[in-house]
Structure 1
Amino acid sequence: MIQQIVDLIEANTSFLVVAHENPDGDAIGSTLGLANALREMGKDVVALNVDGVPQIMQFLPGFDQLVTTLPENKQFDVAFVLDSGDLVRAGVPVQECCKALVNIDHHPHSEFGDICYVDTTASATAVLIDRVLQQCDYRMSLDVAKPLYLGILSDTGSFRYSSANPEAFSVAGRLVGMGIDPWEIASCLYESLAPERMKLLGLVLPTLEISDCGRYASVAMTEDILKQSGASEEHTDGFVNYPRAIRGVEVALFFRQIGADAYKISMRSRGTIDVGAMARELGGGGHHNAAGAKVNGSLEEARATVSRLLDRLI
């Protein structure tokens, strides 16, 4: 599978690299890592994300070359869709503008593309990009290593999650050996937060609800709360981890209002409960320990819907 991707890279000239909307560190890290590498190989590359690069990641090499819309009438030899789980999450009509579509992902049930390179044992899509680049006739630069390291750091929760397997440490160690400064990246990612984010967090935490059994908990953000804080949706990254930090909580939820009667739900599990399966019941998707879905209704109705599922699972 990897060799097929390498052959496509060597045989073609123009590439689109895109990851899922509302991008996290792995989506941006794998996108910029691959795009920068392809450019260094002399390829014509468009890196795209419909929601752009979050402010805390705008120190990464190549962030200023990433676009949010497809160039008009542009056709690509190959399109890479990264870390997306489902093609629709790319947010653009990828299939209409490429000759070959490559799906690289570590989410389960990610089944699309002319080449579908999916490995659910990988800690991050950035690790899969590293595997591909290691087989290319190409010498990796720091401009490629830095985004890939951020992708691994982000998706393993700074190497705290169960996804932090030996390969994650091995790849990260090699990237550090190349000259990556772990403190620089961690500082930019975790200790350069906007004041608006902290104001938003102060409004979200009072919405905390813990189930009677104490095994799941949630926080919520309405459109009014977001407006009151002066923050933007990108500032909510990581909010779901606050209820998960409560002793005894096995599943954490973050409800984010996305319309008059609709909520997007981020789910995190400590491992006992498969939130990926739960998310799929709601029409979403994700991993065993990290998933998401959308639910129609008021906040109370959305919480009740999810509570019924969790009560059954628990």
Structure 2
Amino acid sequence: MIMIKRIAEEIAALNSFLITTHESPDGDAVGSSLALARYLTCLGKDVTVYLCDPVPDVYQFLPMAERVVQELPDRSFDACFVLDVGEFRRAGKAITDCRTIGKFINIDHHLNCEDFGEINYVDTTACATGALVYRIIEAAGHEMDYDIALCIYTAVITDTGSFRYSNANPEAFAIAAKMVEKGINAWDVAEKLYESQPQNRLQLLAMALATLSFSPFGDYASIAVTLDMYQKCNANAELTDGFVNYPRSIKGVEVAIFFREIRDGLFKVGFRSKGKVDVSALAAAFSGGGHHNAAGCTIEGSLPVVKEKVFTLLEKFLRK
């Protein structure tokens, strides 16, 4: 509660706020950012939401999504809320190099999150960063309107994998229940998130699943997406969200790996674990990071070379 009190004091004392989150924003990043933006706007504050990457189409239904900017305004801000980044660099150079921000307030639930802010509200037991934003608004006694509720609910449902992941703790269900009480229709949100896929996403998924491979013992599996696949079905990286869950869903697979080509000779590698392997440690070995069950990193090389690097180290983790 000490950190929440300090944040409340900053909100009361200051007027202009910048809100940002990590590159390639997911549902928690977008939902928590927009929930906080809506709250501050209701208080009459001057609020700007900046993301280094655009809001993915799947989250465009969220209130205030249309107000998100991709170019940092040439002005000063009293404070900047940095949400869900884990590592400060993931907010993008425009933020890390900015000299017109009074102070940084870091709100996060990632393991080993960097303490880069003047205030660091980090709780690794929280189901989502959206849950921390919820606590801040709830502690202030502010009546959450439908717009805030929709953003918070989306943050929680996406980061808990629709309440399937190990972070789906009692607080996650309690927050979801309270948001439903505010008028959130669970099916309506689920339809927007999971039942409205563009055709080219399924075409890209088909190509990715064709690359499915398994370890000799069947305890890890991987898929890949390359630049030429994007070109063939007129798709982009945004449409690959959730692809890694397909190999993870296979019986006997403990770790799923998703290799996504960013540019020629560079791959983003996503890891998902069912619990036996701490993939945050695996990602850290390649200068990445994340959670025990979900992490990622970037590795240079051709796809065969990158795969060999990852599989060799993963074998050591699994055969301890």
Give the alignment's TM-score, normalised by structure 1: 0.98
Q: Kindly indicate whether residue 285 of structure 2 is the aligned counterpart of residue 243 of structure 1.
A: no
Equivalent residue, structure 2, for 1:213? 217
| Structure 2 residue corresponding to 1:103, chosen from 102, 106, 127 | 106
Equivalent residue, structure 1, for 2:204? 200
Instruction: Give the 3-state SS of the residue equivalent to 1:207 in structure 2.
Output: coil
| Structure 1 residue corresponding to 2:19, chosen from 14, 17, 25 | 17
Q: 2: CA distance between counterparts of 1:89 and 1:40?
A: 28
Q: 2: CA distance between counterparts of 1:305 and 1:298?
A: 11
CA offsets, 1:237-291, max 9 Å, x none?
Answer: 0000000011100000100001211100011000000000110110000000000
Given that residues 41 and 138 in structure 1 are in contact (C-alpha distance below 8 angstroms), is that contact kept between their aligned partners in structure 2?
A: no
Instruction: Give the 3-state SS of the residue equivalent to 1:313 in structure 2.
Output: helix
Letter in 1 for 2:183: G
Identify the range of structure 1 (119-128 vs 91-100) with the bigger mean alpha-carbon deviation: 91-100
Given that residues 250 and 269 in structure 1 are in contact (C-alpha distance below 8 angstroms), is that contact kept between their aligned partners in structure 2?
A: yes
CA offsets, 1:4-48, max 9 Å, x none?
Answer: 001101111000000101011000000111011110110000011
CA offsets, 1:219-246, max 9 Å, x none?
Answer: 0001001111111110000000000011
Q: 2: CA distance between counterparts of 1:268 and 1:195?
A: 25
Q: Kindly indicate whether residue 122 of structure 2 is the aligned counterpart of residue 122 of structure 1.
A: no
CA offsets, 1:166-211, max 9 Å, x none?
Answer: 0000011111111111111111000011111011011111001100
Instruction: Give the 3-state SS of the residue equivalent to 2:7 in structure 1.
Output: helix
Instruction: Give the 3-state SS of the residue equivalent to 2:210 in structure 1.
Output: helix
| Structure 1 residue corresponding to 2:292, chosen from 277, 284, 288 | 288
In percent, how many aligned pairs have the same letter?
48
Q: 2: CA distance between counterparts of 1:27 and 1:109?
A: 18
CA offsets, 1:78-109, max 9 Å, x none?
Answer: 10000000111111224523111000000011
Give the alignment's TM-score, normalised by structure 2: 0.96
Q: 2: CA distance between counterparts of 1:97 and 1:53?
A: 24
Given that residues 18 and 47 in structure 1 are in contact (C-alpha distance below 8 angstroms), is that contact kept between their aligned partners in structure 2?
A: yes
Displacement after TM superposition at 1:137 (Å):
4.4
Given that residues 208 and 218 in structure 1 are in contact (C-alpha distance below 8 angstroms), is that contact kept between their aligned partners in structure 2?
A: yes
Aligned length: 313
Displacement after TM superposition at 1:138 (Å):
2.2
Q: 2: CA distance between counterparts of 1:151 and 1:96?
A: 30
In structure 1, the gaps of 5 or more residues are none
Matches within 5 A, 1:1-314: 1-72=3-74, 74-91=75-92, 92-94=94-96, 95-111=98-114, 112-314=116-318
4+ residue runs over 6 A deviation? none
Instruction: Give the 3-state SS of the residue equivalent to 1:103 in structure 2.
Output: strand
Instruction: Give the 3-state SS of the residue equivalent to 2:205 in structure 1.
Output: helix
Letter in 1 for 2:7: I
Letter in 2 for 1:5: I
Q: 2: CA distance between counterparts of 1:264 and 1:96?
A: 30
